[in-house]
Every structure is written in C-alpha cells, then in structure tokens.
A and B are shown apart, each in its own frame.
Chain A
Amino acid sequence: MEKPLRSKTDSFIIFYFTLILGIIFAFWILSRGLILSYSDAIYRLSIARSIIDSLEPGLVNIGGIWPPLPQIVMLIFVWNDFLFYSGLAGTIPSLIIFSFSCVLIYKFAYEMFEDKKLSLLSLSIYAANINILYFSSVPMSEIYSSLFLVSSTYYFYKWTIDNKISSLILAGFSVMLGTFVRYDLWPLLLFFVLLIITKFTIIDSKIDFSIKNFIKNLRLNYHKIEGVIIFYAIPAIFGISGWIFYSWIILGDPLYFLNSVYAAGHLDIASSGLVNLPTKYNLSRSILIYSSAVIYMVGPIFLLSIVIFIYMLRRLDMKTLSIFILFTPFIFYIFSLYAGNGTIRVPNFFPYGKWNIRYGLIMLPFVALTIPNIFMIITSKIKKKIIFIIFGILLINYSFLIFDFQPIEDQNAPSIKNLAREINRNYDGGKILVASKIIPWEVMYYSHIPYKEYIILNNNPIWNESINFPSNHSKWILDIELNELERNYLIEDFGKFSEIEAKSYYVKYNIQTINYGKIKLLKIKELNRS
C-alpha cells in the first residue's frame, strides 16, 4: 500500500502539467476562433463586463438567471479590452479551475485506490478528454460544475475516512459554491443528505440492510445524524437562499430565475424550436437521449463505466456511494428530460442536433473514477496488462479526436458578427436604446461599442422611459423582431413592447432605418412634429 507522502508534490506537478496542457489547447482553440462558439460564452462575458461597463455599473447587472460565480470570477479580467473581446477573460479562470479539478480527480482516485498508476489513469481519462479541454478553454460554466461536483464528493469521501471537521467543511462549501454555478447542482445536497443517513444507519453498522437495524441506528445516532446533516447542508442552503435573497433585494422577485422571461425553461423551449418535447413523459427516450449525450461528450467508455459501477454496487461501501454521487447528475438530467423541464438534442436521434449536448460532460468525473475499479476487480497481472493496453488505445484514440474536433457553433454567429460590424460602421455616438426585453449581448459584444452606450432592460427606469420617449435619452434604437415561436412563448411575458409597437416610432419620429433582417437599427433624426 502506497502512502500519500508526496501528495503535495504530486498535486503541484499535476496542477502545472494540466495547466500547461490546458494552455496549449486553449491556444489551439483560440487560433481556430472557437473560444466564443457558444453564444452563452458571450453572454457570460458580457454580464461580467456590464458590472463595470454599463449605463449603471454595479453588481445589480449580474442578473438573476444564471447563478453568479463564473461571471464574478471573470470579473477579474473583463475590464481589459483585449482579454474581453478575445474571450480570454473567461478562458484564464476556466484553465485554472480545470487544473484544480484535475488535482482533485487525482487525489480522489488516490484516496480510493491508494495506487499512483490507477490515480494517473483516472486523471488521464479526465484530462485527456477533448470536450473537457474545450470547456476549460472557454467562458462557460461546465468546468466549474465539474470542479465542484468532484470537490464536494472528494471531501465528503475524505471526511468518511479521516473524520476531520475540515474535510466536512470543505465538502459543504464545495456544494455551496456549486449552487452558485449551476442549478443542476442544487439537487446534490439532497443526495449527500441521504448519504449521511445511509452512512450512520447502514454502512457504519457492517452494512446491515434490515429495517430493524436501520431504525435502531437512526434512534441511536439521531443527534449525530441531525447535527452532521445541518452542519454539512447549511452552507449549501445558505448558498441557495442567498441567491433567492439577492433576487428579492436586487431584482424584486425572490424566484426571478424561475419567473423571468429568461428562465431556462422558457428559453430552452423557445430557442430549441420544439413545442412538443419528445422526451417528455417518455422515460426510455429520456435515458436514450441523455446516454447518447454522455457518450458523445465522454466517449464509449461511459458504457463500460456503467457496467463496472453496477458490479461495484454488489458491495455497498462509502467508495461505491461516493461514486454514486458522481452518477447523480445522470438521474437529474433524465428526470429533467422526462419532466419536460429542458431539452437535449443528439445527432443520432430525432430531433437531430447538438442542442445542450454539452450537459453530458458532467458525467466525466464519474467515468474517470469508476473505470480504474476494474483493476480492483481483476487481479491477474496479465489481464491487467491487456486491459491497460486496451485503455491506452481507447484513450489515445479518443484524445486524437482533437484533429476532427468541431464544437457546436451558433448558426447565427457569422450574420451577427456582420450585423454588429455594420452597426459599428454606422454608429456616430449617442445612446442606443435596445427596444426589447431581450438583451442582444452578441450584437453588443461584436459591435465593440462600450456597453455604457446601450440602454437595456437592466437600466430601469431609464429604459422604461426611453421605450415611451426614445429621444429623451437615445439617438439610436435597436429594434429586435421576434420569430413566431419566440412570440408564442415569450410575448406575454415581454409585455407591451413588440415589433408592432416599434412601428409607432416610424410615425413619431423621422427615422433612418438600417435593416438587418431580424434586427433593425433605427436612427432618430428628429421628432416628427406633424
């Protein structure tokens, strides 16, 4: 049995090695112009930037739809124009987060297997994955989710071994930080609570599943279970309630992320173009679609990891249960697809596409930490060698997909870039009123006009006043026409302003129209007195 004598040195080496790996990959991504392929990347950068560059700078601009942590981290770099417009303002923190997640994957594996080779195998499966490398190079939240999923599970597992308060605190705070990254991580808390109960009632009593034993241990350890659950869960509850508190104080609605027109459910449906979700109330299809997404993002070894995991379930211990925690996003997404709360498209099944296929990536830590267990199951040395070779080939093969790598690009991106350039060319100063509750961050971003020149929904009451009397504050109007689907789903929420009302500007004002299809740029020349 190896001892983690050099664990600090190992961590140090892994951190810098994976950082260099990430940097090389990021440069490659940058050179191919793929950093901002996802429109969400631009939104996140823009939200961060608007905290310091907007008509009314301040934390209020962090909004209430996405949990704020990635945007707050990006805040460190977005002030710099080069870093902001290149996307590197989001890439730099993502790379660092990636390296931390690699260190934790290694430490977690070492804690479980007490074997450096197997720990390195876990690390390789994780760090050599082309998609995790991609999402470590872009201003998205995937890598943050991965980090906090791993760290919360790792420290929890560590606590079950060393019984140190510090491990429990770190586990609790990891969940808390996770709640500030993605709503998908909120249910983690529930699973951990169940795990604590299981630990004190079943696992610690030599795995006795009888109800009698369960009740006996529950009574015996009641205060301990209660205390540990509260102590562990309170940071996460605090994180969740903090976000609700913020929404209440700043945005006026404690459930803004659910009720707003930007709520994920609304936008997913509107943007995906699907009215009837094929996975809704169809469990097998939900499983099929999400499994395909995972295989697309993680690779076919996901299937092998499932087989190994099922085998591991024969022995219910903290190791297996911790790996189960890493598996819980699978349950969450299937439930989400089944309930019709979101949608994912995969290339092989109707409705074909890659919409939200990236959600499959969250299963990578599960795969990375499950696969090495096969060496704990198979003990023969020859078999081990053969399996190692097979994995080597699989891994290298998968990593070499890099040469065929093409992330999902926003189909509208080229036209938006052209439109933004045109706006920039025509723009000769003055405020631009965005006459829609949709904030066209991509257009604003690529226009390279400072955000403080735009009057957007966030700038109430100026925005409200400008909608009725545009010339009071603005010289330009950016009029966004909604497509039919968006109208169907969003028009009620969007209130009084619509393209129809926009036409009233043509009556009220002497307007020069620069038409870019869906988006029109209107220049207010003077008030039409007639």
Chain B
Amino acid sequence: MKVKKDALFIPEKYSAKNNISVRTIGLLLLILFSILLGIWLLFGINPIIIFIGLTTIYYLFSLLFKLYLVSNSKNSDILKISEKDIKDINNKKLPHYSILIPLYREKEIVKQLLAEIKNMDWPKDKLDVKILLEEDDKDTIGYIKNEKLPNYFDIIIVPNSYPKTKPKALNVGMMRIKGKYVTIYDAEDMPEKDQLKKAYLSFQKLPKDYICIQAKLNYYNKDQNWLTKLFTSEYATWFDFYLPGLMSKNYPIPLGGTSNHFKADILKKIGAWDSYNVTEDCDLGMRIHRLGYKIAIMDSTTWEEANSEIDNWIRQRSRWIKGYIQTFIVHMRNPRRTLKEFGLENFIVFLFFVGASPVTPILNLFFWILTIVWFLTHASFIQYLFPPMIFYPALFSLYFGNFIIIYLSMVGCINREFYNIIKWSLLSPVYWLLMAFAAIKASWQMIVNPHFWEKTKHGLYLWKNH
C-alpha cells in the first residue's frame, strides 16, 4: 500500500486537517451574540447573568458527574491479571506483538526505554519493535544506528513532510508492523515488565468488541518538585478513577498518549491515527466508540516522566488542549451523526470531557478574577450579576465544588499510597491557574497554527539526576 505524504488514512472529514476558519468562528460568535441580545431585548434579562447561570449549572453538573465516575470506578472491570495467570501462559502460543516507539530529538532518554523493552516479558522472536525516527533528526538516527539493537528492532525513517506530528509517524510505522497486537511507548516510558502479557490476557478475557486496552500512566519522578507532585496527583485521579469510571459505564474514553494496546487489524481498518490531530489519542478514543468498539483500562502502569518545568508543562498542556479542541471540532462537524452514533448519554459525556475541557480552565480564571475583585472592592455590579438564584449555587460551587475536586485528587494519591503528595493537592488551584494559561495559549494557537506540534522536552529529571 502506498503511503500518502501525510500518512492520513481516514477521510478528511474525520480529520483535523481542515481547521475551523476564523470566518466560521466569527459567525458562531455572531449567532451566539444575537441570541443573547435577543433574550435581553425580549425578556429583559441581562445575557451575562444568563451566561453565569448556565456556567453555574455546568459547574454543578461537572461536580456531580465526576463524583459519579469516581463512585463507579471501583465497580469497573479493571482487568486484574494475577501472577499465576501470567505464569500459565504458553509462550509458544503467543502471537507477534508490535511496539511503536516514535522518537524526535530524544536520544538522551531513549536508552532507558530500549533497556525496558529488551527486558519485557514476551518471547523475543515474537516481538516486533519499530523505532520511528524523523528524517531530519540526524542525531537520534545516528545514536540509534550505533546502538547495536537486537534483530527484533526495526528502524523506520519517517519522511520529512507536513504535518510533523507523532500520529503521522505512528501511521507510517503502522504500515510495517507484523504483530497481531500493537502498542505505543514514548521515549521516556518505563512500562511494567509484564504489561504485554497482561494486555494479551485481557484481550482473551474481553468480548470481541474491545479493541483497545489502555494501561494506567503515572510518574516515576513524582517527588522532583511541586509541579511533578501536582501532575502526579492529577494523573492518579484521571487514570485510577475517572477513566475506570468511564469504562464502567461504557462511556467514550479519551485515550492516554502511550501504552494503549490495540488489535492491529481493527486499528488499521478504522484508519489508525489522525495525522493532523495533536491529541490523536483522544480523537482515536472517540472514533473507536463512535464506530461501536470498546476500550478497557487494565491494571498495569507505565511510568513516565512528569514535566518539571513550568514553560515546558504549559507547552505540553497547551498541545493537549489544542488537540481536544481539534477533536471536538472534528466530531461536531456533523453533530446529528455524532449524536446518532454515540447515543445521547455518550454524546453528553463527549461534550463534557472533550468539548468543555478546554473551556473550563478559562472560565475558572474568569470567575476567580471576579471573586477576587469582589473581595477587594465589593463592587455592586458583581452582586448584580449574581442574583440569589445563581448566587447560592455559585457559592456552593465555588466552595464545595473546588473542595471536592481537590479532595478527589487526594483520593487519587492515597489510593496509590503517595502519602507525601497528599498535602500538595491543596495547591491544586495553582495548577489550575497554569491550566488556564495553557488553555489561552491553545486557543490562540488553534487559530494561528493548528497543526503545530509543541514538542515536550523530556529527560529533565534524568539530566538532573546525572
């Protein structure tokens, strides 16, 4: 099969290739503005009050929904595989397993991953590792070529073409894999040794419509600084509670960037990743669900490196948020069809998890500023914006809502027995502030440079330790 330059295998209408135009954004804003103005003129209600009221409802829904997910997370069939199950596997009957490792300017940290891969519990004659290197990354190409890798490692050079993204590299690699199953690891990953076998057994246990199994992600450098601690507590809640909660209810799951294990044939059938989407994992998670397949979360962790520098963190987070916006736009090009394919409940979850995620941090910032201004000035216009019907739920949301979300991140920490991080969860509002900055940056980039891949610098922890 001839691979296109952009390695895009899905129809363009399902891809983020074509961005929403400034004109369309303008039109949508104009419609929204007209509706609000109409309400003001017809009913005499200030549209800002309506906006605040709707936002308050959203916050309350968000709070209840998160609690609902957490309470359901322990009911989900997180695939627990015992050591005995793994021992009982007949290695001779195992199929080929492919591992895709996309690298770009990461020669300093890839060594640890290569060691981890060599150490993985899977018969080496059935392991198919594809290292995906960018054509212009001469350093890493040189380094890898000098590494004397075993013969189950293959090097694939990804042509230097637009877009220069991880999903494009993955798609290029995807065309060359031999495995029945395929997974992805990033350069800084440290997957648990038995993860492939756990994934294999999980696929055997699950019904056929489960085509993807996501391992949990967490960080090995959690104690590096306050940012890695907060990042860790966020991930502990996300992967140990929210995603299992989504899984327990068969809701669409936004996949994590690595350690998702696929049935290779079906992944190819559905067109693999969107080369233009900078959060291709989230998009793929939604697409899988829309096409009637399912995703499971398994009880195995891949340890990654948490971003330890603020600017680097903002770069990474802004890319994620931009990808969420892209995903939302892609799946909302034909809302009726998306609704039909998802079903109402899943559609709401999609709106909440994908659509609202980029907006929430900015809304938070707006309300915090409003609160601070009120405390400082007791300005009457702020009181006017919060009539009693909105004020009390908003006050509840401000105090209880924020507390509950902070508390949930503590639950994530104590669940992982990260006792020393629990107190840091109290600083979550600072972390949310960073998210707000990232969201603003993402929104801006979405307009000016939608397909730009904000490269995250990895290896900061390792360098420091060296």
Question: Does B249 sit within 8 A of A, measured CB to CB?
Answer: no
Interface of B is mostly: helix
Residues B415 and A230 in contact, CB atoms below 8 Å apart: no
B284 at the interface (CB under 8 A from A): no
Interface residues of B in 369-404 (CB under 8 A from A): 388, 392, 395, 399-400, 403
Residue of A nearest to B396 (CB): A59
- Give the Cβ gap from B456 to chain A, nearest Cβ, in Å: 29
Contact A226 B419 (CB under 8 A): yes
Q: Are A58 and B388 in contact (CB under 8 A)?
A: yes
Binds B, one of A2-10, A149-157, A231-239, A514-522: A231-239
- Please determine whether B420 and A226 come into contact, CB atoms closer than 8 angstroms: yes
Contact A169 B411 (CB under 8 A): yes
Q: Is B414 an interface residue (CB 8 A)?
A: yes
| Chain A: CB-nearest residue to B414 | A231
| A318 smallest CB distance to B (angstroms) | 19
Size category of the B interface is 10 to 19
Asked if residues B410 and A231 are in contact (CB atoms below 8 Å), the reply is: yes
Interface: B303 (CB within 8 A): no
CA of A75 to CA of B426, assembled, Å: 33
Given A58-B392, A242-B399, A249-B395, do A165 and B415 touch, yes or no (CB 8 Å)? yes
Chain B residue nearest to A239 in the complex (CB):
B403
Which residues of the other chain, A, contact B411 by a CB distance below 8 angstroms? 165, 169, 231
Chain B residues with Cβ below 8 Å from A227 are 413-414, 418-423
CB pair B395–A230 under 8 Å, yes or no, is: no
In the complex the two chains form, is B403's CB within 8 Å of A230's CB?
A: no
| CB-based contact B388/A228 at 8 Å | no
For window 411-466 of chain B, which residues contact chain A by CB distance below 8 Å? 411, 413-415, 418-423, 426
Q: How many angstroms from the CA of A169 to the CA of B415 in the assembled complex?
A: 12
Segment 208-237 of A: residues with Cβ below 8 Å from B? 223-224, 226-228, 230-231, 234-235
Would you call A223 and B420 a contact (CB within 8 A)? yes
Using CB atoms, name the residue of chain B closest to A173. B407
Q: Does A245 contact B (CB under 8 A)?
A: yes
Do A59 and B414 touch (CB < 8 A)? no
Contact with B along A56-68 (1 / 0, CB 8 A): 0011000000000
Indicate the size class of the contact surface on chain A: 10 to 19
A234 adjacent to B410 (CB under 8 Å): yes
- Bound-complex Cα distance A145 to B278 (A): 54
A228 / chain B contacts, CB cutoff of 8 Å:
414, 419
- The complex places the Cα of A245 from the Cα of B375 at a distance, in Å, of 12
Interface of A is mostly: helix
Give CA–CA (A204, B99) in the complex, Å. 45
Find chain B residues with CB under 8 A from A165 CB. Answer: 411, 414-415
Which of A224, A228, A230, A245 has its CB near the most chain B CB atoms (within 10 A)? A230
- In the complex, how many angstroms separate the beta carbon of A64 from the nearest chain B beta carbon? 15
B226 CB → nearest A CB, Å: 16
Which residues of B sit under 8 angstroms from A223, Cβ to Cβ?
419-420
CA distance A268 to B411 in the complex (A): 42
Given that A58-B392, A59-B392, A223-B420 are contacting pairs, would A245 and B415 also be in contact in the complex, using a CB cutoff of 8 Å? no
Flag B321-355 by CB within 8 Å of A: 1 or 0 each. 00000000000000000000000000000000000
Q: Mark A152-187, 1 if CB is under 8 A from B, else 0.
A: 000000000000010011000000000000000000
Query: Which partner residue on chain B sits nearest A238 by CB separation?
Result: B403
A59 to B389, CA, bound (A): 10
Is the beta-carbon distance between A230 and B388 smaller than 8 angstroms?
no
Q: Would you give the shortest CB distance from B3 to chain A, in whole angstroms?
A: 48
Kindly state the separation between the CA atoms of A249 and B375 in the bound complex, as whole angstroms: 9
| Interface hits, A60-95 → B, CB 8 Å | none
- Bound together, the chains give a CA A35 to CA B426 distance in angstroms of 45
Residues of B within 8 A of A249 (CB): 395
Residue of B whose beta carbon sits closest to that of A245: B399
- A165 vs B399: C-alpha distance in the bound complex, in angstroms? 23
State A252–B403 Cα separation when bound (angstroms): 22
Chain B proximity of A175: nearest CB distance (Å): 14
Residue contact B422 to A230, C-beta cutoff 8 Å: yes
A165 nearest CB across to chain B (Å): 6
Q: CA separation between A224 and B420, bound complex, in Å?
A: 7
Given A58-B388, A238-B403, A245-B399, answer yes or no on A231-B422 (Cβ-Cβ < 8 Å). yes
A231–B413 Cα gap in the complex (Å)? Answer: 10
> Which A residues are in CB contact (< 8 Å) with B399?
242, 245
Q: Provided the pairs A231-B410, A231-B414, A234-B410 are in contact, do residues A226 and B423 lie with their beta carbons within 8 angstroms? A: yes
Contact residues in B for A230 (Cβ distance below 8 Å)? 410, 422-423, 426
Give 1 or 0 for each of A35-68: 1 = CB within 8 Å of chain B CB.
0000000000000000000000011000000000
Distance of A507 from chain B, by nearest CB (Å)? 37
Q: Specify which chain A residues have a CB less than 8 angstroms from the CB of B421 in the assembled complex.
A: 227
In the complex the two chains form, what is the Cα distance from A62 to B86 in whole Å?
A: 60
Complex CA gap A482/B394 in Å reads 41
How far apart sit A223 and B395, CA to CA, in the bound complex (Å)?
Answer: 34
What is the minimal beta-carbon distance from B233 to any residue of chain A, in angstroms?
Answer: 11
Q: Who on chain A is nearest to B418 by CB? A: A227
Tell me, in angstroms, the Cα distance from A223 to B419 when the chains sit together: 6
Q: Which residues of the partner chain B approach A58 to less than 8 Å between Cβ atoms?
A: 388, 392
Measured between beta carbons, the chain B residues less than 8 angstroms from A242 are: 399-400, 403
* Residues of chain B lying within 8 A (CB to CB) of residue A226: 419-420, 422-423
Contacts of B420 in A (CB 8 A): 223, 226-227
CA distance A224 to B423 in the complex (A): 11
**Closest CB in chain B relative to A330 CB, distance in Å:** 31
Which residue of chain A lies nearest to B374 when distances are taken between CB atoms in the complex? A249
CA distance A245 to B398 in the complex (A): 11
* Shortest beta-carbon distance from A255 to chain B in Å: 17
Interface set, chain A 116-152, CB cutoff 8 A to B: none
The complex places the Cα of A58 from the Cα of B387 at a distance, in Å, of: 11
A227-B423, A228-B419 given; A234·B407 CB < 8 A: yes
List 11 A-B pairs, Cβ < 8 Å: A58-B388, A165-B414, A165-B415, A224-B419, A227-B420, A227-B421, A228-B414, A230-B423, A235-B407, A245-B399, A249-B395
Knowing that A227-B421, A234-B410 are A-B contacts, what are 8 other residue pairs whose CB atoms are under 8 Å apart, sorted by A's residue number?
A59-B392, A169-B411, A223-B420, A226-B419, A226-B422, A230-B410, A231-B410, A238-B403
Interface residues of B (CB under 8 A from A): 388, 392, 395, 399-400, 403, 407, 410-411, 413-415, 418-423, 426
Nearest first, the 4 A-B pairs at minimum CB distance are A227-B419, A227-B422, A223-B420, A223-B419
